[in-house]
Structure 1
Amino acid sequence: MSVVVRETPEAGVALLRINRPEARNALNMEVRRQLSKAFRDLNRESDLRAVVLTGDEKAFAAGADLKEFAELTAVEQMQRQTHKLWENITACPKPVIAAVNGFALGGGCELAMHADIIVAGENAKFGQPEVRVGLMPGAGGTQRLTRAVGKFRAMKLVLLGEPISGIEAGAMGLASEVVPDAEVLPRALEMARRIAALPPLAVAQIKEVLLAGMDASLATGMMVERKAFQLLFATEDQKEGARAFAEKRKPDFKGR
């Protein structure tokens, strides 16, 4: 059975489920490889508009599979090159929504932070517990987390290694939205559906510019934003959007 299952709940929306419930969806190498391949394939689909990434009601992903690398040497760990398996997720041009129930610890928390929007259940458990086994985060837990919640909150999470609830994650800015556990996936799919109905070229430019500007100066970020804004005036969707607004009707965006 595949450890990453793809579903198509509706046109333009892909749902990826991590399917390793016996291990709380821990990220072993097979999960990592299948996730990388799934995103590589999704990245090539021109008619795709949004991606929802989830696990199950008990765990989004409980972390890395410690059994796989507990006895590795530093050279062996380096040779695994697991960082390359994250690249297709990072490079996804479509909006990615993480629907998080249960555990999102270690690599699972880092995986959620690769998404653009995180919908968390109230009782979800986020954390970076690597320090408790003599390690540290290695896939963004010191970098993405700090950018998301700031230095002082990030330091507390990574130095103590203690989990926080979905409610706490929302309060500190680690989750975009917090909902009752049973509503996590429906809400994420609703968001994906709404994004899929929007002009895809504008959506893609928004994602690209926002991410590029995070590590740029304000002046550079503003310049990139301005150029992308101007470029969208060359699209048919921009003209359709303006006409639909004036005519008080629903726009029909074609991605052109």
Structure 2
Amino acid sequence: MDEDDTPLRIERCADRVVATLHRPRVRNAIDQDLVDRLHALCGELEASPRILIITGAGGVFASGADIAQLRDRRAADARAGINTAVFTRIRALPMPVIAAVDGYALGGGAELAYAADLRLGTPTTKIGNPETGLGIIAGAGATWRLPELVGEARAAELLFTGRILGADEALAWGLLTAVHPADELIPAAHALADRIVANDPLAVRHTKTALRAPADAHPAIELALQAELFESPEKRRRMTAFLDRRAR
């Protein structure tokens, strides 16, 4: 396959990976091939944890699931959770996931963004779930992740009506954490990643584990994770360095 036709372009660094959805003819719609490639990337990041920055090429994050494939899927395909499985795997990656959302993030594209830990946008960001207008539901994460992000009432409004949020409203609702000019979006994502990787990687991983734990796991999970960190040489090194700086 020619590099220009690769649907998922991957740039690897020691502490992060940038994955760019690249299906320009269909506005980066998510098809089975792209799902398979995302699964392969998840396997890589599960074995070698790094921050993931995920974005889309051509001024579009992802226009949704590939309707040409989705139209022909039947009940067994729905129960298989094709997109659900890969978005769940992305959500569960050990290190934080940053979605850099330029332009449209609709349907499955929005659900991919919801699976990230952090979402940055641009002034042209449009995000939402128009699935009910196509005779289906937002079945790959929106019905449970969106209420966590914006509250039950706002999630219900968006999912029932199919209304699409612009960047300002998405920022005001907390769906985006910041909005940057399009040419500054990826640098901003890298700057956010830089701030994360300056911290202890194990503490970051354990923080994500605690954040994603079910309600009935708290506070026991924090106590167990903190107990492990209290025995870490890195904790002692960082605290000693802090005390030395303060003493100067």
With the length of structure 2 as denominator, give the TM-score of the two structures.
0.91
Give deviations 1:178-236, integer Å, cap 9, x for gaps: 22232211111111122122111100000001110xx314xx41232222222211111
Matched, 1:38 2:31: no
In the other structure, the counterpart of 1:107 is 108
CA distance in 2 between partners of 1:102 and 1:96 (Å): 19
CA distance in 2 between partners of 1:211 and 1:13 (Å): 21
Letter of the 2:57 counterpart: D
In the other structure, the counterpart of 2:10 is 6
CA distance in 2 between partners of 1:141 and 1:4 (Å): 23
Structure 2, unpaired ranges of 5+: none
Distance 1:239 1:169, change over 3 A: same
> Residue 76 of structure 1: CA displacement?
4.3
What count of residue pairs does the alignment treat as equivalent? 242
CA distance in 1 between partners of 2:50 and 2:6 (Å): 24
> What percentage of residue pairs aligned between the two structures are identical?
34
CA distance in 2 between partners of 1:116 and 1:22 (Å): 28
CA distance in 2 between partners of 1:11 and 1:81 (Å): 30
Structure 1, unpaired ranges of 5+: 250-256
Matched, 1:92 2:70: no
8 Å contact from structure 2 (residues 121, 178) kept in 1: yes
CA distance in 2 between partners of 1:76 and 1:200 (Å): 38
SS of the residue 2:143 aligns to? coil
> Residue 140 of structure 1: CA displacement?
0.9
SS of the residue 2:215 aligns to? coil
Correspondence 1:141-160 to 2 at 5 A: 141-160=142-161
> Residue 74 of structure 1: CA displacement?
1.7
Distance 1:102 1:242, change over 3 A: same
In the other structure, the counterpart of 1:55 is 56
Matched, 1:123 2:124: yes
Matched, 1:163 2:164: yes
Matched, 1:232 2:229: yes
SS of the residue 2:159 aligns to? helix
Correspondence 1:205-220 to 2 at 5 A: 205-212=206-213, 215-217=214-216, 220=217
In the other structure, the counterpart of 2:238 is 241
In the other structure, the counterpart of 1:25 is 28
With the length of structure 1 as denominator, give the TM-score of the two structures.
0.89
CA distance in 2 between partners of 1:82 and 1:211 (Å): 20
8 Å contact from structure 2 (residues 102, 125) kept in 1: yes
8 Å contact from structure 1 (residues 103, 126) kept in 2: yes
8 Å contact from structure 1 (residues 49, 195) kept in 2: no
From 11, 18, 24, give the equivalent of 1:15: 18
8 Å contact from structure 2 (residues 81, 140) kept in 1: no
In the other structure, the counterpart of 1:253 is none
Cα RMSD, aligned residues only:
1.7
SS of the residue 1:11 aligns to? coil
